[in-house]
């Protein structure tokens, strides 16, 4: 899983055995698709490079800034209202469109059906929950491959990983001095 496209996320992450029934699994996949698709759309919106909305569009830009501020506040209040309680511990996970690797002193047994919980955005109180199958651990790292993901979720996951991978490359490039 270390070849090809992947990204690292330092975010709250947990795993548990997946004991849900088929209906709960389908609802979980629909929720994961909705969350990841929305997150991709929000994070991929281009920001103006050198001008604020107000400078770029005059009165219309200021009106848009007010709407965005109100929406930010409403989302913050909603997030506080539905706050899920304590989050799992943060850990660095390596995510690819095929699966996840993470450091674990007591990894799940190979072949175990898992429900992986990742909080991909610090601004959203929602967890991305993905079904996976545990693989044999190696070198202190647990490994799992995603299973039963619908095409829409696979596409959203690929976009998420690609965008985060590209951002990591951009961050490394901008951090270099010449």
Note whether 93 and 102 are within 8 A (CB): yes
pLDDT value of residue 176: 55
Above 50 in pLDDT, residue 9?
yes
Q: Of 105, 100, 106, 134, nearest to 118 (Cα)?
A: 100
Above 90 in pLDDT, residue 82?
no
Q: DSSP for 27-50?
A: HHHHHHHHHHHHHHHHHHSPPPSS
Q: DSSP for 97-139?
A: SSEEEEE-SSPPPTT-EEEEEE---TT--PPEEEEEEEEEEET
What average pLDDT does the segment 93-108 reach? 96
Confidence of residue 151 (pLDDT cuts 50, 70, 90): very high
What average pLDDT does the segment 126-143 reach? 94
Side-chain-side CA neighbours of 16 within 13 Å: the count stands at 7
pLDDT value of residue 178: 43
What average pLDDT does the segment 117-143 reach? 90
pLDDT value of residue 141: 95
What average pLDDT does the segment 107-111 reach? 97
Above 90 in pLDDT, residue 131?
yes
Note whether 147 and 47 are within 8 A (CB): no
Above 90 in pLDDT, residue 105?
yes
Cα R_g (the chain), whole angstroms: 19
Distance between CA atoms of residues 75 and 24, nearest Å: 26
Distance between CA atoms of residues 133 and 143, nearest Å: 9
CB proximity list for 158: less than 8 A, separation 6 or greater:
5, 97
Which range has highest mean pLDDT (41-45, 86-90, 120-124)? 86-90
Q: Provide, rounded to the nearest whole percent, the portion of the chain with pLDDT above 90.
A: 49
The predicted model scores a pTM of 0.76
């Amino acid at each position: 899983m270390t070849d090809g496209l992947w990204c690292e996320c330092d975010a709250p992450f947990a795993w548990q055995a997946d004991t849900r029934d088929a209906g709960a699994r389908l609802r979980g996949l629909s929720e994961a698709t909705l969350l990841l698709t929305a997150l991709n759309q929000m994070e991929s919106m281009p920001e103006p490079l050198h001008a604020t909305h107000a400078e770029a569009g005059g009165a219309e830009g200021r009106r848009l800034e007010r709407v965005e501020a109100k929406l930010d506040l409403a989302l913050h209040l909603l997030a506080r209202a539905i706050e899920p309680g304590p989050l799992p511990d943060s850990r660095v996970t390596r995510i690819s469109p095929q699966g996840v690797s993470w450091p674990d002193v007591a990894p799940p047994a190979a072949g175990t059906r898992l429900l992986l919980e990742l909080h991909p955005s610090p601004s959203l109180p929602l967890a991305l929950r993905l079904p996976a199958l545990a693989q044999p651990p190696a070198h202190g790292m647990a490994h799992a491959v995603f299973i039963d993901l619908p095409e829409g979720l696979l596409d959203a996951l690929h976009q998420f990983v690609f965008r985060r991978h590209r951002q990591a490359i951009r961050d490394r490039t901008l951090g270099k001095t010449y």
